[in-house]
Amino acid sequence: MIFLFCVGVSDDLHVAATLEHTYDVRKRVFETVTEPRGLFMSRSAAYVAEGKIETHEVEPIEPKDGEVRVRVAFVGLCGTDLHIYHGHMDKRVTKPLIFGHEMSGTVEAVGKGVQGWAPGDAVTVMPLKWDGTCAACHAGYHYICQHLTFIGIDSPGALQELWTVPASTLVRLPAGLDLRTAALAEPTAVAVHDVRRSGLQTGDKAVVLGGGPIGLLIACVARDAGADVMVVELDAGRRKLAASLGFATADPAGDVADAVVEWTGGNGAEVVFEVSGAAAPVALATALAKVRGTIVVVAIHSAPREVNLQQIFWKELTIVGARVYQLSDFERAVDLLAREVIPAGRIITRSVPLEETAEALSQLAKGEAMKVLVDVASTSQEK
């Protein structure tokens, strides 16, 4: 049971140091405690095999220098968690893996040298660790470090009652922001980063291809930035939700290009966000963008896609990628949630106890929910 960190192109010394640290993390997280559960036991949900989640009791990790221990309140389940659950990331993760990276909670304990944080502080976590030595880091792009560790995938995540993380990953939550809503901070930060990468301006028309949680969050952030937004979504329920939130909508089963032409007065959209992860919307995106428009690739595509290069040439289109986020994106996300720009109550379908994590993932896979939260502190009996 060893957690492997995501390692890019590196030398042998970097790999050796990574594996040594990984072994230490494995020892600290998965030492089984045989005594009856008490104050020093922590329940956790771990991915153990394709389609299988088990609830473990583990010994909480004492925070070392520069670390804090967080009492986790809520964890959001997302598409990446589904990929893990279905075994699609087995080459990257090591089982058992306590996963989860969308969360909210409160500081429970602080290690030596930690300043500015105290027990009881409400927090979320920006789940990224970078090495500070690669070319990306030296260029100032720490968040897309070539040796980036994504906490919750490459190292233990938030689906545990007590979670020890570097203090540098904490993001403060304001008073009055409830922890259930705050669990949307991470996906909202994704949306903030996506909109920032697009260069969107007040008055622009933006088309969002895909009306799932990230798509709706992008739509909300873009509207707050002054854009007029259309959401293109195949699922009728999700399309209805987007319309109820005040967005123009289109069904991809119809002629989306004609709908966008009419909606934009024949000009096309300044920005197109590809959030679906499917081949057809990728092929469609270039037709929807206006001259000198921008296409933002948000979704993860597991296979190469066909793109109309003639359209890119003819319209002088720009295509940009948007992967994760920076601290400023997280801080803006928290502000948007606190100001209720994000309709959290409409996006969150329900919450479940830790023991029902597998059932919740199955529900998401079937498209039966928008966003499901795991209420880490609750139990099936309490529910």
Calpha distance 268→205 (Å, rounded): 8
379 in active site: no
Q: How many domains would you assign to the chain?
A: 2
pLDDT at site 380: 57
Residue 349 lies in a domain: yes
Residue 51 lies in a domain: yes
Q: Which of 320, 369, 366, 333 is nearest to 349 (CA)?
A: 369
CA distances in angstroms from 226 to 97, 134, 201, 206, listed in the order given = 41, 37, 7, 10
pLDDT at site 260: 98
pLDDT at site 379: 72
Calpha distance 334→348 (Å, rounded): 16
Residue of 18, 22, 80, 149 marked active site: 80
Residue of 14, 56, 83, 88 marked active site: 83
Residues 25 and 75 in one domain: yes
80 in active site: yes
Q: Could you tell me where the DSSP H helices lie in 278-375?
A: 279-288, 309-315, 327-338, 344-347, 357-365
Task: Please report the DSSP string for 160-213 in residue order.
Answer: BSEEEEEGGGEEEPPTT--HHHHTTHHHHHHHHHHHHHHT--TT-EEEEE--SH
Residues 309 and 247 in one domain: yes
Q: Which residues pair with 55 in a beta bridge?
A: 45
Residues 163 and 304 in one domain: no
For the chain (383 residues), the mean pLDDT of every run of 10, in chain order, is 34 37 45 44 96 94 97 97 96 96 98 97 98 97 97 97 98 97 98 98 98 98 98 97 98 96 98 96 97 97 94 98 97 98 97 97 94 89 54
pLDDT at site 21: 42
Residues 166 and 217 in one domain: no
Query: Quick one: angle between helices 256-263 and 279-288, nearest 10?
Result: 30
Residue 315 lies in a domain: yes
Kindly give, in sequence order, each residue whose CB lies less than 8 Å from that of residue 132, ignoring residues fewer than 6 positions away. 142, 145
Task: Please report the DSSP string for 117-138 in residue order.
Answer: --TT-EEEE--EE--S-SHHHH
What is the signed CA dihedral for 5, 10, 13, 18, rounded to 10 degrees?
-10
Residue 330 lies in a domain: no
For residue 69, the one-letter residue type is: R
pLDDT at site 145: 97
Residues spanned by the domain of 296: 187-321
CATH code for the domain of 204: 3.40.50.720
pLDDT at site 112: 96
Residue 336 lies in a domain: no
Report the chain's C-alpha Rg in angstroms: 21
Q: 226: which 2 tokens?
A: 């002054």
For residue 277, the one-letter residue type is: G
Residues 304 and 315 in one domain: yes
Residue 328 lies in a domain: no
Strand, coil or helix: 65: coil
Residues 370 and 347 sit within 8 Å (Cβ to Cβ): yes
Residues 231 and 121 in one domain: no
Residues 315 and 204 in one domain: yes
Residues 76 and 146 in one domain: yes
Residues 180 and 195 in one domain: no
Calpha distance 14→35 (Å, rounded): 38
- The structure tokens 């690669």 sit at 134
Residue 380 lies in a domain: no
Residues 143 and 218 in one domain: no
CATH code for the domain of 354: 3.90.180.10
Residues 167 and 220 in one domain: no
Residue 326 lies in a domain: no
Strand, coil or helix: 75: strand
Vertex 263 angle, CA 257 and 269, to 5°:
65
Residues 46 and 147 in one domain: yes
